[in-house]
Amino acid sequence: MRIFLFLLLCFFSNDILASNIQNNKECITEHVTIDFNFSGAGNSTCEVISSDHIKITVVPETKESINPSPWYAFRKSKNTKKILVELSYGEYEHRYFPKIKKTNGNWEKINERDILIKNDGKNVLINLYPSKESQYISSQELITEDWYEDWYVTLKENNFLRSKIVGYSVQNRPIKAFFSNQNINNPYIFILGRQHPPEVSSVFAIKGFVNELIGNINLSEEFLSKYNIFFVPLMNPDGVENGFWRYNYNKKDLNRDWDNFFQPETNSVKNFLDNLKNRNQPILYIDFHSTYKNIFYISDAQLTNSYPNFLLNWLEKSRLELSKIGYNFSIKESYTKSNKVSKNYFHNKYNIPSMTYEVSDTEERSKITKSSKILARNLITILLDSENKIIDMEERKGFEPSRRLPAYTLSKRAPSTTRPPLH
């Protein structure tokens, strides 16, 4: 009887274990193991179809999503046989072309001949070849907290910057901000990044942009003596850690919370900025995102102070230089009175030029970095040149020099009206 009960227990235990493995976060066959037990993996589950065929169901953190970004990431064990991995999106569609992390740490696109997209993007088949070590396959590069911490180390080495934890996320992860304030009375430039977790291409843009603002050998020292910057590289650490498509851990879109500030992430940043001891108005806001194409959504043409069309002129002045490296983009005037989007909030509250910088999902990463450095360098040059002109003019007139941007007029070249959906 005892032997029978023992065998029965073993049978059910193995059955339960197999069920958990095959239907949840790990699938094991004689040839390969697929799992999601790492930072940024997301909410996917897997199913064993055969010993060399694993089906992964890609699911969002919630079905209540707009403009969904079907994020997937999984780890494949070492294997001696070619494996077929199937991505199943259900009611959603494939967006991100799969990338694989190489042994040198770089991410590369999987060869197109090994990808088959079926059913209008509802299913994707990926051939994965034998490897002597485990490999990560993901919709975009896995840029999680460890990556940011490495960047933060270099930022903290910059003599112009200070760092501060301005608050905590829903899961109690720190919201880290960096700012320069050589002179507390200098005007501020506000910069935010990664409100939406899967928008990885924007990470390369904000890093290149910020590094140029603070690290240009010829320009940064003068620039940071006259202008302060405040930036948060990672607004949504919970969403990134959990591999979410769009939301924070409360299943809320942070870039739709800039009205009531119900979420701790947005509320933390707002409170910090509200408490800045600065008698000068901020002058510029930039929010980094990603979508299908390179596009700048700008809000400044309606301004009646000294700022109209500053963004348009800055971008158009940069267009020729950017085109030389093959970085093409469109510009769209975008503004509503609603404060729910951060761009509109900063525009309305401070009456300043505000911009959402959308970086193409598929843009070459090195090109993103180069273009962002060009944009940052041109911004520095325009601001310094403008200020010097203002000061020279006002000193000649006997006025007290002031910190403000000059008035701008529309450029001769009209911005493109072609754009993907706002992301």
pTM of the entire predicted model: 0.87
SS3 405: coil
Strands 123-128 and 115-118: antiparallel
Q: Mind listing the pLDDT tens digit of every residue in the chain (423 residues)?
A: 555 444 444 444 443 333 333 446 899 999 999 999 999 999 999 999 999 999 999 999 987 766 789 999 999 999 999 999 999 999 999 999 999 998 888 999 999 999 999 999 999 999 999 999 999 999 999 999 999 999 999 999 999 999 999 999 999 999 999 999 778 889 999 999 999 999 999 999 999 999 999 999 999 999 999 999 999 999 999 999 999 999 999 999 999 999 999 999 999 999 998 887 666 678 999 999 999 999 999 987 666 666 778 999 999 999 999 999 999 999 999 888 888 999 999 999 988 999 999 999 999 999 999 999 999 999 999 999 876 554 443 443 443 434 455 554 433 333 333 445 444
SS3 418: coil
The stretches of 289-363 forming alpha helices (DSSP H) are 310-323, 342-350
- The Cα–Cα gap between 61 and 246 comes to 8
Radius of gyration of the chain (CA): 25
Q: Integer distance in angstroms from the first to the last C-alpha of the chain?
A: 64
DSSP 8-state code for residue 197: T
What is the torsional sign of CA 132, 134, 140, 141?
A: negative
The half-sphere exposure of 13 on its side-chain side, counting CA atoms within 13 A, is 6
What is the torsional sign of CA 146, 147, 152, 153?
A: positive
Strand order in the sheet with 83-88: 45-50, 53-57, 83-88, 123-128, 115-118
Count of C-beta atoms within a 10 Å radius of residue 7:
10
| Count, residues in the chain | 423
Burial degree of 269 (CB within 10 A; 0-12, 13-18, 19+):
buried
Q: Cβ contacts of residue 398 below 8 Å, gap of 6+?
A: none
- The Cα–Cα gap between 11 and 7 comes to 6
The domains found in the chain, sorted by start residue, are 22-138 (2.60.40.3120), 145-397 (3.40.630.10)
